[in-house]
């Protein structure tokens, strides 16, 4: 009595190949024994997919024949591990599965197909100190980096200049190493990038004397970085392609720059505004008048109206932090009464007179 593979995968008899594949992936994930799933259920799911996932076997199954049954050519569950052996030659097309996919995880192939992805070098992180002014207006910074970069002598191909590249003996020029892996589910073939030629299929006849054929060297270099305007303390900037180059060629990683803004004695940042405090004479607050306010752009003349209370905040628009194309926050200044530390004889006399008048 054949098992009902359709109900095991939870799909209808008219399900498309894609629906079957999706159902299998989902269930295989859910019932994977390594993740606490039920091994016999997992076995059933695999068995069902071996049939329904194969157009010819599915046709046979629809006609009432179980291609997994004993004695059926190419079938052959029964012997081996717990009565469960794919040794008869199950072909799982690895191209059906993406990196990190369930089968990759199951059989440890994840990352084993490196030859298909372009290699990337490692990222680098550095710290950069900025003055408050530099954080507001941006700056060009030179950073000294020691990093693995493409070999300057051989330009990365690993061959001594003037010599040739020859076919790699280990992979015979294919750049790939095929490996058979026996698992409890049978024998699988995996393809990995050749370690001798880093997947290129060619090796230098005479390795470069600087990089010994690896195509990279450690270099101390000054890198110019444009710090954009308006960065804040602890911001992280990403500079594409300024990280390390991978061995054997490929795309360099990125450089991450963490910004540290030095405290300024006069200005602090609040959102997109710059905030300061200014001590002014009592007479200015009482009588009103104009005064120069120091801003990050230089002094700005501001009118103070009569009878301005101590601690009043004045807003100067457009003198704050740049934040989007052309827009800037405000400069906010808090006016506080400047109490003189020392008074001249004359000043004292005038103040005495004011005191008599109740001020």
Residues in the site for Zn ion, rule: CB under 5 A? 151, 153-154, 168, 170-171, 194, 196-197, 208, 210-211
Q: How far is the CB of 219 from Zn ion (least distance, A)?
A: 12
How far apart are the two ends of the chain, measured CA to CA in Å? 109
- 195 versus 228: smaller Cβ distance to Zn ion: 195
- 102 versus 177: smaller Cβ distance to Zn ion: 177
265 by Cβ neighbours in 10 Å (0-12 / 13-18 / 19+) ranks as: exposed
- 11 versus 168: smaller Cβ distance to Zn ion: 168
- 155 versus 258: smaller Cβ distance to Zn ion: 155
Q: How far is the CB of 210 from Zn ion (least distance, A)?
A: 5
- 210 versus 284: smaller Cβ distance to Zn ion: 210
* φ, ψ of residue 205 in degrees (nearest 5): -65, -45
Q: How far is the CB of 54 from Zn ion (least distance, A)?
A: 34
Cα–Cα distance, 194 to 172 (Å, whole number):
10
Q: How far is the CB of 14 from Zn ion (least distance, A)?
A: 47
Q: How far is the CB of 196 from Zn ion (least distance, A)?
A: 4
Within 10 Å of residue 207's Cβ, how many Cβ atoms? Answer: 17
Q: How far is the CB of 110 from Zn ion (least distance, A)?
A: 22
Handedness of CA 125, 130, 135, 137 (dihedral sign): negative
24 in Cβ contact with 53 (< 8 Å): yes
- 156 versus 186: smaller Cβ distance to Zn ion: 156
Cα–Cα distance, 275 to 266 (Å, whole number):
8
* φ, ψ of residue 336 in degrees (nearest 5): -125, 150
Q: How far is the CB of 169 from Zn ion (least distance, A)?
A: 8
- 19 versus 196: smaller Cβ distance to Zn ion: 196
- 135 versus 148: smaller Cβ distance to Zn ion: 148
Q: How far is the CB of 299 from Zn ion (least distance, A)?
A: 57
Tokens at residue 57, please? 């076997």
- 225 versus 247: smaller Cβ distance to Zn ion: 247
Q: How far is the CB of 167 from Zn ion (least distance, A)?
A: 8
| Strand 322-324 with 165-167, pairing | unpaired
**Angle, CA of 189, 79 and 187, to the nearest 5°:** 5
């Amino acid at each position: 009595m054949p098992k009902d593979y359709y109900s095991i995968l939870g799909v209808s008899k008219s399900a498309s190949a894609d629906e079957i594949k999706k159902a299998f992936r989902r269930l295989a994930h859910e019932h994977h024994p390594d993740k606490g799933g039920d091994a016999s259920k997992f076995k059933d799911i695999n068995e069902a997919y071996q049939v329904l996932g194969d157009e010819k076997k599915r046709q046979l199954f629809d006609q009432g024949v179980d291609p997994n049954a004993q004695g059926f050519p190419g079938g052959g569950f029964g012997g081996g591990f717990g009565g469960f052996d794919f040794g008869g030659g199950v072909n799982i097309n690895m191209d059906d599965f993406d990196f990190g996919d369930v089968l990759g995880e199951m059989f440890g192939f994840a990352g084993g197909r490196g030859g298909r992805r372009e290699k990337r070098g490692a990222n680098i992180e550095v710290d950069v100190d900025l003055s408050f002014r530099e954080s507001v207006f941006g700056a060009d910074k030179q950073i000294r980096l020691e990093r693995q970069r493409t070999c300057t002598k051989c330009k990365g191909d690993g061959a001594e200049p003037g010599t040739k590249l020859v076919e790699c003996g280990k992979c015979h020029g294919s750049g790939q190493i095929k490996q058979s892996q026996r698992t409890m589910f049978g024998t699988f073939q995996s393809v990995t990038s050749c370690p001798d030629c880093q997947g290129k299929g060619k090796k230098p006849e005479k390795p470069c004397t600087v990089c010994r054929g690896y195509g990279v060297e450690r270099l101390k270099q000054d890198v110019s970085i444009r710090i954009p305007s308006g960065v804040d303390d602890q911001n992280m900037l990403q500079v594409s392609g300024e990280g390390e180059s991978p061995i054997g060629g490929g795309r360099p990683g990125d450089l991450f720059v963490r910004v540290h803004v030095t405290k300024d004695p006069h200005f602090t940042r609040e959102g997109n505004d710059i905030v300061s405090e200014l001590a002014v004479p009592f007479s200015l607050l009482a009588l009103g008048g104009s005064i120069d306010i120091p801003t990050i752009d230089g002094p700005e003349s501001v009118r103070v109206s009569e009878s301005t209370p101590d601690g009043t905040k004045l807003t100067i628009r457009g003198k704050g932090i740049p934040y989007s194309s052309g827009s800037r926050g405000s400069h906010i200044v808090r006016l506080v009464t400047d109490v003189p530390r020392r008074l001249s004889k004359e000043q004292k006399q005038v103040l005495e007179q004011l005191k008599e008048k109740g001020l």
